[in-house]
Structure 1
Amino acid sequence: MRLWSYNNAVLAACTLAFFATMAARLAISPVVPTISSEFGVSNGAIGAALTGMWLAYALSQFPSGLLGDRIGERAVIMIAIVGTAVMSVLLALSPGYALFFTGAIALGIMAGLHYSVATSLLTRTFRKTGMAIGIHSAGAPLAGIVTPIAVGSIGAILGWRYAVAFGAFVAVPTAIFFYALVRPTPPSRPDTAITDRLKTGPIFKLLARPPILITGLLALVGAFVWQATASFLPTFLVEYHSYSEPQAGILFSVYFVVQGIAQPGIGRLSDWVGRYPAAILATLVGVVSYALFVWASSAILLTMATMMAGVAMSWGAALLPKFMDHLSAEERGAGFGLVRTSYMVLGATGSVATGMIADFFGWGAAFLLLAVLLAGMSAVMMLALRYVSSISARAFPE
């Protein structure tokens, strides 16, 4: 790819947009104690608002695809970025918990409009989609590196309202940049009413296609492990390995750094060697990583485990293009949004399930379960590759 081509400009704009929508969501967590203190509610109540936000984010993936097909990807991404900025400001101005809770859910809806539509746009723009989607996905871990540090500093100096408004501070220039750089995109189905595409028959038929169903189940398991890691890796390091919170925070940042670097690499590898082989590599690295988390004790080995976990959680850069490989041009917007909503909503249970297992059986058992799940993903993909090879051998005998 040429460095300064229009295609690369679109990729840069989409990646920055993903960074902005993720930063706005991550800006709340570092100042939860201050927010709960001012509103006079428990941390659990603020946590409920965050759960609602992430659930709304997952649920809006499918409608975003429908909207993109009707009015074009550029318009939907602009709505997502501008809506993220507006909701960040409203959250920062919330006079009480009820409006804060509502605003958090609205922020999740607005931010959720971006990813599926941007992926559809990149698939339309690039021939080799793996690397493009991998670079685009790196916007999220980059936000995970920058946002906690920035928001923590802003909150300590200016208070939580300015910290939450960090989302708008990032989103406003991103919206201007995106609008100036990305040309209007023609909708793929401008004359089809959105309500006509909400019939359950075609929806279940799409989800039941073997390549979509198998990849969707794999993505569900991967999302489960990702959610569990993002929710509990620092807590695991503190409670299981007796790390201090600053030490655990440093390793958590390392996890995001490696994930941001690995995603484009895994995506590009999937363009070269195939989606499943690249995803198998990532998940096998994860099996070793999560086993090391439990059985290793030295700082060097735990750092290695953290870095390997960052590679493992880059599985999406290989599997998400797999969905696009099996969707027609007309299906990609709504179809990808549908499968993303399906696996993300179910994968979000990773936080609850892992926390409960840790409560009943300990953190070692919880993280070993994550290693087993990744091993299961690897095994299923190996079996799928073997099945495809046997079919090919019968169809084209030497």
Structure 2
Amino acid sequence: MDRTALSSSDSGNRWLPRYTILALCVGAYFAIRFSQLLVSALVPSILGTFAVSRAAIGTVLGGMWAAYALAQLPSGVLGDRFGPRSIVLAGVGLTAVAGLLLAGTPSFVLFGVSVLLLGVGAGLYYNAATALLTARFDAIGQAIAVHRIGDPRVALGAGVAVSLLVLGAFARRVPAAHSIRTDESLRELLAPRYLLTLISRPTLAYTTVLAVLAEFVGLATMSLLPTFLVQHHGYTLLRAGLLFSVLAAIRGVLQPLAGRASDRLGRDGVLALMMGAGVIGYGTLSSSTAFVLAVPAVVLAGIAMSWAPPLQSRAIDGLTESEQGAGFGLVRTIYILSGALGTAVIGLVADVAGWATSFLVLTALLAIAFLLLLSNRAVGRWA
């Protein structure tokens, strides 16, 4: 299949079909992440509306990320077996349905069910979309990074509208791709021995450990940061929402740069800088409530939370094309499922020991990731 970097040098001035696919993937991912992040931003209001504990809301949001994680491996394998286009369409469609349910939820139980459905739809989408892009672009880090650039009920409705528009455009404009492994059954592709062989490779195991640490921090942050800023720092919902928007904006701006930098400068060096920034940012948020320090601390946290393009590219680097569906799906299942514990664990720590302690835990996890990256750069054991 024809592949290219994200440049115009080899395409003249023509808009190539691969860029249409990239644009549609960006739109789809925007709709999915918009819905997920909006749920997190509404946590302070949900706590009051449904009168539930922080541990309860953390568990429900953790369930969303667990569903997201458990859909990763099936997404990759089904994409290999039946082609990624169909799986992308299914994922975006489920996201739209979940958004409609969330926009009109009257109870915490229905809220939880809708959030789980959102997790499944989002999980089905991502690996299949990544397969579409990595088959068409050589600059994997940059392609993944560009892909990731993406009244509360009205806002959720906007997410649904974008999902439906992208669903229609994807079905019409993206051709069905050939299946990579049609000669193998789903049982063979999901065989535990085969999956264990993949994940036991030193480079893939090391990458997965880093991803588990980063995802644990990331999911806890995206789910609980607004509540942390309101309850620990004493900020208004408006101020907390603005800081949360700063975090999201930093991630949106930095991820393309991080992906491109990792293509050119190496994955581990870029990741080490990002984790180091996170240690400073989270440490500041946990130790000080001054707004003048909170702003740069949130910026540094946003830098750390932009880790996905270089780290996901690191995982793909260690897989052949025929292994990417199952291998990348397996890595994402492990790290997202492990990371999904973050919302419940950090919510529980906040209930028992306070918000400052809970964010110190996040700081410590980023410090471990930072030290692992420095160790690998020095020794090269898990290249």
TM-score by length of 2: 0.87
Q: Greater RCO between the two (CA within 8 Å, min separation 6)?
A: 2
How do 1:67-106 residues align onto structure 2 when only pairs under 5 Å count?
67-89=78-100, 101-106=112-117
Report the residue type matching 1:376 in the other structure.
I
Q: Which residue of 2 aligns with 1:246?
A: 238
Residues 356 and 312 from structure 1, CA distance in 2 versus in 1: closer, same or farther, beyond 3 angstroms? same
Write the letter of the residue equivalent to 1:314. S
| Aligned mates of 1:221, 1:195 — CA distance in 2 | 30
- In 2, distance between residues paired with 1:46 and 1:299? 26
Aligned to 1:191: 183
Match 2:328 to one of 336, 339, 342: 336
- Measure the CA separation in 1 of the matches of 2:283 and 2:47: 36
Q: Give 1:19's aligned residue.
A: 30
The CA deviation string for residues 28-54 of structure 1, in whole angstroms up to 9 with x for no partner, is 56677999999xx75467776544333
Deviation at 1:98, TM superposition (A): 6.5
Corresponding residue number in structure 2 for 1:309: 301
The equivalent position to 1:220 in structure 2, one of 186, 191, 212, is: 212
Aligned residues of 1:84 and 1:111 also touching (Cα < 8 A): yes
Q: 1:224-272, CA deviations, whole angstroms, 9 ceiling, x for partnerless residues?
A: 1101211222222223322222111111111101111111111111001
Residue 187 of structure 2 corresponds to residue 176 of structure 1: no
Correspondent of 1:269 among 244, 251, 261:
261
Match of 1:107 in 2: 118
What letter is aligned with 2:152? G
Q: 1:287, 1:374 within 8 Å by CA — same for their partners in 2?
A: yes
Q: For residues 234 and 382 of structure 2, what CA distance do their matches in structure 1 show? A: 51
1:60 aligns with 2:93: no
In the alignment, structure 1 segments of 5+ residues that lack a partner are: 140-150, 155-162, 393-398
Q: Which amino acid aligns with 1:122?
A: L
Distance 1:42 1:329 in 2: 49
Deviation at 1:317, TM superposition (A): 1.5
Unpaired runs of 5+ in structure 2? 1-6
Q: 1:238 to 1:24 in 2, by over 3 A?
A: closer
CA RMSD of aligned residues (A): 2.8
Letter matched to residue 201 of structure 1: R
What SS class does the counterpart of residue 205 from structure 2 fall into? helix
Q: What residue number does 1:152 align with?
A: 152
Query: CA offsets per residue over residues 111-149 of structure 1, 9 Å max, x none?
Result: 21111111222211111111111121222xxxxxxxxxx
What SS does the aligned partner of 1:127 have? coil
| Per-residue Cα deviation, 1:270-327 (whole angstroms, up to 9, x for no partner) | 0011111111111111111112213445433211111111111011111110010001
Deviation track 1:310-359 (CA, whole Å, cap 9, x = no partner) reads 11101111111001000110010121111101111111111122223233
Aligned counterparts of 1:239 and 1:333: Cα–Cα separation in 2: 42
Q: What amino acid is aligned across from residue 117 of structure 1 in structure 2?
A: A
Q: Is the 8 A contact 1:27 1:166 kept in 2?
A: no
